Chain A
């Protein structure tokens, strides 16, 4: 159990366009979802935490208007990178946690390349 999927697994987009990444918990209800970014050879960086039905809480330095997060249901959260720039190219990973869970279950990640 506790499977989290992400779609797409990789995406290439042009500078200035927007990209939406979906994160789904397949077999449990995720009351909290987390979005991370990881640049090559660096550690995970938490971008934001979202609870179902409420606004996401962004970490310091993460632009809310650029990285739009929606957690509309207990099984789906989306991250939209708006007006993407080459420096947004990174590995984006979501994780999900159930109501009584301690563990975060990770999705497989989405590799974004902005040209």
Chain B
């Protein structure tokens, strides 16, 4: 079957660094996405990885290891506005997105 796992909830401190992990098992792979979703809003795109390695974009970085079926999203210099759910999604063999349940990130002052 197809499966995406990520932690349900994480807590971090303002100004710190947090890493949100995602492991996946899918039939076919055409890339992995990270989306941010604030409560009551639609998801917004953060990153896309299709090759192994680290993609850096400002305070956010995303890493992919296809052989391990593993990705992480790294958030640096955390701000209160980063409190949100972070969704990991894999584009499968038919290019449909398979979604993780999301990780709720709570930022404390």
Q: Quick one: which of A34, A102, A107 contacts B31, CB cutoff 8 A?
A: A102
Interface 1/0s, chain B 40-58, versus A by CB < 8 A? 1111110010100000000
B 15-38 to A, binary, CB cutoff 8 A, 1 in contact else 0: 000000000000000110101000
On chain A, the residues within 8 Å of B73 by CB distance are none
Q: Which of A14-22, A42-50, A60-68 lies on the face that meets chain B? A: A42-50
A102 to B30, CA, bound (A): 8
Q: Interface residue count for B (Cβ, 8 Å)?
A: 21
Contacts of B102 on A, CB cut-off 8 Å?
A: 43
CA A44 to CA B44, docked complex, whole Å? 13
Q: A49-B96, A102-B30, A102-B50 are in contact. Are A43 and B101 (CB under 8 A)?
A: yes
Binding site of B, secondary structure by majority: helix, strand, loop or mixed?
A: loop
B99 interface residue, CB < 8 Å from A?
yes
Residue in A closest to B4 when the chains form the complex, CB atoms = A43
A34–B42 CA distance with the chains assembled, in angstroms: 13
Chain B interface (Cβ < 8 Å from any Cβ of A):
30-31, 33, 35, 40-45, 48, 50, 87, 91, 95-97, 99-102
A-B pairs with lowest CB-CB distance, top 8: A43-B101, A109-B42, A106-B42, A93-B42, A43-B102, A108-B42, A44-B99, A106-B43
